[in-house]
Structure 1
Amino acid sequence: MRIRATVAAVSGALALSALAVPAAQADDGRSWNPDSGLTATQPSAGEKSKKGFGATTKAAAPKITSAVVNGGKPIVVGTKSKITVPYTMTATDDSGIYHAGVFIWIGSSVDDEDSFGFGPNEKSMSCKAVDATTSTCKGTITLDPAFLINSDATWWRVGAGALANDGDEAERDAAAKVRVQRFSKLTVNASPEPVKKGKTITVTGKLTRANWDTGTYKGYSKQAVKLQFKKKGAKSYTTVKTVTTSSTGALKTTVKASADGTWRYSFAGTPSTPAVSAKGDAVDVK
């Protein structure tokens, strides 16, 4: 089951929404079927009219000058919880901006049946006029891991749509990019505790990350992870050595006990997976 993102103007206002498409409608469950483009309609009775709305004279279309999702930072998604991130955008038109919003998508084009995206949360959408022609708009987008597959951990395109006060509309399917990543976890255990000075400490741990295909966490294999030590009273960790994860994401190495302090593993991250450091494990050296 995938998401259908629709960009449309409803009752004179721009609405960008995510509409669910049942998995049964697609062989691989990854249908999107976007209705790209904007459709302007006359405001309904009783709704406040906008100057020039529905005018027949041709005017320049609005311009979408910027669109940023999650402050430009990667969006990290786990296996269960939905993740809601903010967006901002700027649009301009001679008549001023009535409404605008942002959506994110992945695929070869928004019209491709294999493409997929998430639209903005309708209640979060708002615009504020900077001057008579330009507005900054903001809102949120919610990503649901139930609709993600592992290959979605990559760059996504940021699309945006805007509706001007005179009824003209504009859409940019690729106004920017944002990376989506698989949430990672890292553990550590240093033993024995306490230990005699000069004796061997065994430090184990495991690096796992979200597996969106199965909705579980799976070991991240063949990854370089730093073993770090912070001596008691020190303010920062120092890297002691680099350890590579096993086929199951497991970590294991040994060191000599020299002083009281805390051990941890630290992973620098990859394009598909964010950096993570384990919560330190303190060892008392006798």
Structure 2
Amino acid sequence: MRWRGRRGSRNIEDRRRSGGRRAAGGIGGIAGVLLLLAGWYFGIDTSQFVDFDDSIGSPQQVEITEADERAAAFVSVTLADTEEVWTDIFARELGQRYDPPVLVLFKGATRSACGGASAATGPFYCPPEEKAYLDTDFFVTLDRRLGASGDFAAAYVVAHEVAHHVQNELGILGQVNQVRSRVSERESNELSVRLELQADCFSGLWARAAQNRFGSLEPGDIEEAMNAAAQIGDDTLQRNARQVVRPHTFTHGTSAQRQRWFQRGYETGSLASCDTFATDNL
């Protein structure tokens, strides 16, 4: 991916040097109540992060490496690309203004309105804050532990979390999560899969638009994204963890599904083609 020397985003909240905090301890008081309410509304289980004892994690020493700085610069450029692409799509296809998310970079652990964030949680989007959270060490995990190497594999991850913000902007995320809060666990998981696959499709749509707009893709980039999608499919993750594959527990989709929907977005370049809620064939 061609990214060096290009514009970075201003919507980066860098917490890496503020000192990591251990994930232990919950959020208490009024903040705890608000967190529970936010979780109920958005369909997120936040109870594990609330203990009402006003406990906060203790600061941890962190070291910012050259690799961390390179990852931060890469994320900033990738985020800037998503801002330009989605601003154009919203204006051209929807006649709407796109309000981009803030991406929080951290190292070690930090807090969000959706609970604790750490390298173990992986990147995620927090709807109440309209922020995406990313530990720069995750790129190491993506490469060395998950077998998804390459800078475009990392770009796919960033684009996927931004895609959840796009769903939030379109009202899809809130509507689906309200339904999820009222149905069975199995039905909730099925809706979660559709959300995630749509985010994969939006990521493919972004990749196509980024190539057309910036000429940023290099040979092998799409293959890197497809491999990343395969490595983080629910079935693959369960097999790699030496677990029995249990489809009813899937929340993100199989490797084949994730690849198929990313490819669909990339090939069509159309928002309408990413409607995972209108098909029985995921």
Same-fold status (TM-score > 0.5): no
Structure (1/2) with the larger strand percentage: 1
Q: Which TM bucket (shorter chain)?
A: under 0.3
Q: TM-score, normalised by structure 1?
A: 0.23
